[in-house]
Amino acid sequence: MDASWNQDHGRTMTKLVVMGDPGVDDAVAILCAAHFGTLLGIVATHGNAPAEVTARNALALCERAGLEVPVARGCPRSLMGEGTVSGAAFHGSAGLAGVALPEPKQALDPRCGAQFLIETASAHRGELVVVVTGAHTDLALALRLEPRLVSWLRAVAVMGGTAGPGNARPMACLNVLADPEAAAIVATSGLPLFWLGYELTRTVVLGEAELVRLEEGGKVARTMAAALRAYRERYRRVYGIDGAPIHDALAVLALALAERVPPGILRFVPTALEVVCAHGPARGMTIVDLRGIVDAAALPEDRRPRPPNVAYAVAVDREAAVEAVVAAILSYD
Ligand code: RIB
Ligand code: CA
């Protein structure tokens, strides 16, 4: 897997579908996707809030931002039918704490999320990039329903899992814990995966200076400033981190059009990533092999790394990422 894929994939606008659970940082990711690429649709997944809530938020956000983008509702529960984990502690019970967007006028796409993705990928074979910023349930279902997706999709960026501290559990991130079996299906699918873990994404936050810039912007920027302030307050209260993280937006920057996103914001290395599905304290963990072994043959068989299945994000230019995201949000009226 060529980890520099996102640096030189040509000059056309990247066609994107976001599969996420807005959610404050998902909302930022959606705005970035529509700014840096061609956003063909949103699949609202369960995770930060129930799928019907994230679907409503996606519709309401698109109307606020003037985005005419289809929104399809994802599965309400994980593949195994467990109750979804919740991000309400950070995003509020309605998923977008800090703002009260009007009830959306636009209806949901009549297709379920998996079918919407299959049909969109089929219509844009070899061109569509998927950005997963919530549970993997709908992508996993789509892969089972239509195995040709592996060749139809150009790439998949995933924000989820962690190679260090987690959030929903000590070493597990909400997006993978919400449906570990689904994340395992995605991780072993053979798709070109660009994977960003929570240990890296949590280090990129919008601070007071950025929030003030947004408050001096248009209606969309002011709306996001209010949501990000509430998000930041919850992060400050819980973690002592004085900033609003932009986890999901980084997954968009990973694969957005290099022409409009300064190249090199993120650095990826091919590595082996495995999702733990066994029930118990490790469920939902992502085992990421970052040992940096360069000559596996020098090791006994049982210590050799598994073949790489993802390009894993190991470094980020924080200043460039923050600037790109703030510029994207300010570009809206
Ligand atoms: O762990 C960060 C992830 O969990 C982000 O996608 C955030 O939106 C929450 O869903
Ligand atoms: Ca999310």
Structure tokens that stand for 75 in this block: 């599965």
Q: For position 3, what pLDDT does the model report?
A: 41
Whether the Cβ atoms of residue 86 and residue 79 lie closer than 8 Å to each other? no
Task: Decide: helix, strand or coil at residue 73.
Answer: strand
Contact partners, residue 299, CB within 8 Å, separation at least 6: 293
Task: Decide: helix, strand or coil at residue 243.
Answer: coil
What is the Å distance from ligand 2's center to 87 Cα? 9
Structure tokens that stand for 156 in this block: 């998949």
Starting from the CA of residue 197, give the closest ligand: 1
Q: For position 255, what pLDDT does the model report?
A: 81
Q: Which of 128, 26, 18, 139 is nearest to 78 (CA)?
A: 139
What is the Å distance from ligand 2's center to 301 Cα? 38
Residues 38-71: tens digit of each pLDDT? 999 999 999 999 999 999 999 999 999 999 999 9
Contact partners, residue 88, CB within 8 Å, separation at least 6: 48, 49, 95
- The dihedral built from the CA positions of residue 254, 257, 259 and 261, taken in this order, carries a sign that is negative
Ligand 1 proximal residues by C-beta, below 6 Å: 21, 23, 25-26, 47-48, 87, 133-134, 159, 167, 173-175, 198, 247-248
CA distances from residue 134 to 221, 315, 319 in whole angstroms, order as listed = 23, 22, 25
Q: Whose CA is nearest to atom 4 of ligand 1?
A: 174
pTM: 0.94
Which atom of ligand 1 approaches the CA of 201 most closely?
2
Residues in the chain predicted with pLDDT less than 70, given as ranges, are 1-12, 83-84, 256-262
Contact partners, residue 244, CB within 8 Å, separation at least 6: 24, 25, 205, 206, 211, 228, 229, 231, 232, 235
Structure tokens that stand for 269 in this block: 């290395």
d(CA 169, CA 161): 11
* DSSP secondary structure, 7-36, as one string: GSS-SSPPEEEEEE--SHHHHHHHHHHHHH
Q: For position 73, what pLDDT does the model report?
A: 97
Q: For position 12, what pLDDT does the model report?
A: 64
Q: For position 131, what pLDDT does the model report?
A: 97
Residues 299-331: tens digit of each pLDDT? 999 999 999 999 999 999 999 999 999 999 999
Q: For position 281, what pLDDT does the model report?
A: 94
The pick from 18, 19, 26 for probing ligand 1's pocket by mutation, whose C-beta has the most ligand atoms within 8 angstroms, reads 26
- Can you list the domains of the chain with their CATH numbers? 5-330 (3.90.245.10)
Q: Whose CA is nearest to atom 6 of ligand 1?
A: 133
Q: For position 91, what pLDDT does the model report?
A: 78
Q: Which residues pair with 312 in a beta bridge?
A: 195, 269
Name the DSSP letter for residue 263: T
Q: For position 256, what pLDDT does the model report?
A: 61
d(CA 209, CA 212): 5
